[in-house]
Structure 1
Amino acid sequence: MFDAKGTIVTTVLATILGSWALTGCTGQPEPARPSPTVYAHPAADENSVAVPVPAGGTAAALTRPLTQAGWFCAQARSNADGRALWCRIAHRDESDTVHPQVAQFLLDRDGRLAWAWFPPPEDGTYQQGEPPRVVDAAAPALAAIWPGAGDRARQEIDDFAHDLGEPAVRRSDDLPRAAWRDEHADYGFSGLDGLLVTARDASVRRWPFGAEHYATTMSSAVDDLLAGGYDCFYPPQESCTRVRSNGYFRVTLRQDQIVSAQFGIGSRIESGRQRHALAEEFPHGLTFLSEAVRRPVTERIEQSRRSGTSFAGIVAGTIVVIDASRGAVDGDDLVAYLDIQIGAPLAAALPV
């Protein structure tokens, strides 16, 4: 993601949002994409302490329809120019498999929406007749701040979902997509990327990138991961595997700084006691977390491991998401597997 000096390479955001580049339809607007320079700046009063979405104003209005529908939302980070909001919900299918869906918002220093992204749910693509989950999130959020924007988005995306055979707007490689504009923003949608929104009267020059409050660096954490049985080849790989427990550990980075971390771990409670110690995977503790948050975050994870329950919230200024899948339960005994995420990735970065 970064060149030798740690600045973002031009292809990063172009790859992430590249499907917005061509409309293939005369007269249709091209949704503006973030410049690759939005993260290539010195620290600008970066603050990586996660906080609840501020009450009142645009941020609260945007996220209220989502939280009322069961989403978790938080302000993930901020700086002198703006603040980034991150929302997530866990969809479960009939086999209890979790398919996460997120929404990202970037507000300027005056609290106005400058940019938003509603990616499809993980493993989700738009097929003809499939329920349009992206618009179910985007329409009420946009309608809360821009009159008419939600209805227009729903109409455009519903038309897209039902008319994939003859899309009105195509890329040069025939990926179906749609684009439109109103007095508030430029919009672009595809089944692969979801909905991208770029406001017309607000912008953020330097996007927030802080993560130091809750995370350390990958280079400082990799030896402890190796000691826990993970196979890690960093650099350059940002994903580690643990064959003996079918485990994984993966991160998003800015240079060497960990921005978000995801890992899976099992739990086995017998006679009310934990028989699968966290130290099996992390013999020195969660050393990829800063000392300021390591203990409270670990305690929150252990609480979910004991109960076999999920969690999404802020712990010691840190976003913590736990998706628990419970197996056999017999009195005080249970078996569970937990997929855990610490921190939120940078806006417009993959994975979301």
Structure 2
Amino acid sequence: MSGLVLAALALTGCAGSAEPPELPPAGVYEHAPVGENSRAEPIPPGGTAASVTAPLTGAGWFCAQVRANADGRALWCRIGRRDTTGQVAPQTAQFLLDREDRLAWAWFQHTPASEDLAAAAAPALAAIWPEAGAEVRAEIDEFDRDRRERTGTEVPRTAWRDGNADYLLSAVDGLVVTARDASVRRWPFGAEHYATTMSSAVDDLLAGGYDCFYPPQQSCNRVQSNGDFRVSLRGDQIVSAEFGIGSRIESGAQQRPLSENFPNGLTFLTDEVRGPVTERLEECRTSGTGFAGIVAGTVVIIDADRGPATGADHASHFDVQIGAPLTGT
């Protein structure tokens, strides 16, 4: 983690190289399992997790504790807003807590609108570090003004520090916060509760019409539906999966069965969660509505784009995410 902090301290104003620092910090996932738990849970009441996420959930975000191990806990928050074209534009935030329930690291990912970044980061950090909120908002506002005036190809970046943390703000990565008095050496990476491996899932994806060349490809295209199936991985282990899928309800019946894309079902999921997650997905496809929550200990995000309806008949498209990516990725 020290490499990220040193890079941040070397920056002044909006100066910076064309390549921002890598995320996540080097080496944090290079360890053997240490009590890894990949079962997602609601944010527990009380403590730092509840404090830092309360401003977000109060503004309509979904937040969950997505994994933990002997050294720390990872929180993941997300909100989906519709842009001017009607498409959902997601915004996410990630938090890492140490074993003593202190915030060790946070990442508010880049958003096209700086006010959305400030509206998330400032109140979340102020909930645990009261003096940080106003400074974070002021720095983001100044950064945005400077960025609009800049020319050239360099990636705008700026950095500052206070008594709580080091802050790195980038036009590519958003805001990265590294606490000064807390750290997690071995970051949680578990996903085995809900996901299988990519190598075991490829054959079923091929059977569903996806073009997969794995390894190394992590995105499988499906020409028939102009869609794809994307995963984030740790080694061969699937950590999160995203895909688009359609639905058409006529006379109360589903005309686009799930088997068109997944003839053998959602076999990239474990036996324990496959049934409940499939049931939730089918409920959304029938009703034409979205969902953000935890199903059988698994994060499930379903963004619905429902077309014009005639009576009970309707067609919808869904963007689906199952599982949360590793912190810092």
TM-score range, shorter chain: over 0.9
* CA distance 1:217–1:269, change in 2 (3 Å): same
Identify which of 286, 301, 314 aligns with 2:266. 286
Deviations 1:46-73 (A, max 9, x none): 0000000111011000000000000000
SS in 1 for 2:183: coil
Aligned to 2:11: 23
Contact 1:31 1:196 in 2 (8 A): no
Distance in 2 (alpha carbons) for counterparts of 1:166 and 1:333:
51
Matched, 1:137 2:125: no
Q: Report the CA distance between 1:147 and its aligned residue.
A: 1.6
**One-letter code aligned to 1:90:** G
Contact 2:218 2:231 in 1 (8 A): yes
Aligned to 1:146: 129
Distance in 2 (alpha carbons) for counterparts of 1:225 and 1:286:
9
Matched, 1:324 2:304: yes
- Of all paired residues, the percent bearing the same amino acid is 63
Matched, 1:299 2:282: no
* CA distance 1:18–1:275, change in 2 (3 Å): farther
Aligned to 1:6: none
* CA distance 1:181–1:17, change in 2 (3 Å): closer
Deviations 1:112-143 (A, max 9, x none): 0000000123xx3xxxxx55211110000000
Distance in 2 (alpha carbons) for counterparts of 1:185 and 1:131:
21
Count of residue pairs brought into register by the alignment: 324
Q: What root-mean-square deviation, in Å, do the aligned CA atoms of Structure 1 and Structure 2 show?
A: 2.6
Identify which of 137, 149, 161 aligns with 2:144. 161
Distance in 2 (alpha carbons) for counterparts of 1:208 and 1:218:
20
Contact 2:5 2:166 in 1 (8 A): no
Aligned to 1:334: 314
Q: Report the CA distance between 1:35 and its aligned residue.
A: 3.9
Q: Report the CA distance between 1:269 and its aligned residue.
A: 0.2
Q: Report the CA distance between 1:173 and its aligned residue.
A: 6.6
Report the TM-score when normalising by structure 2: 0.93
Matched, 1:240 2:220: yes
Q: Report the CA distance between 1:95 and its aligned residue.
A: 2.1
Contact 2:302 2:319 in 1 (8 A): yes
Identify which of 251, 263, 273 aligns with 1:271. 251
**One-letter code aligned to 2:29:** Y
* CA distance 1:279–1:175, change in 2 (3 Å): same
Ranges in structure 2 where 5+ consecutive residues have no aligned partner: none
* CA distance 1:92–1:35, change in 2 (3 Å): closer
Ranges in structure 1 where 5+ consecutive residues have no aligned partner: 1-9, 125-129
Matched, 1:50 2:30: no
Deviations 1:4-61 (A, max 9, x none): xxxxxx9xxx9x9998585156xx9x99975421101000000000000111011000
**One-letter code aligned to 1:220:** S
Identify which of 51, 58, 63 aligns with 1:73. 63
Report the TM-score when normalising by structure 1: 0.87
Matched, 1:208 2:188: yes
Distance in 2 (alpha carbons) for counterparts of 1:31 and 1:194:
12
Contact 1:45 1:79 in 2 (8 A): yes
Identify which of 77, 96, 108 aligns with 1:118. 108
* CA distance 1:101–1:18, change in 2 (3 Å): farther
Distance in 2 (alpha carbons) for counterparts of 1:85 and 1:162:
31
Aligned to 2:158: 178
Contact 2:160 2:167 in 1 (8 A): yes
Structure 1 consecutive aligned stretches of length 4 or more whose deviation exceeds 3 Å: 16-22, 30-35
* CA distance 1:271–1:173, change in 2 (3 Å): closer
Deviations 1:178-208 (A, max 9, x none): 1110000000102211000000000001000
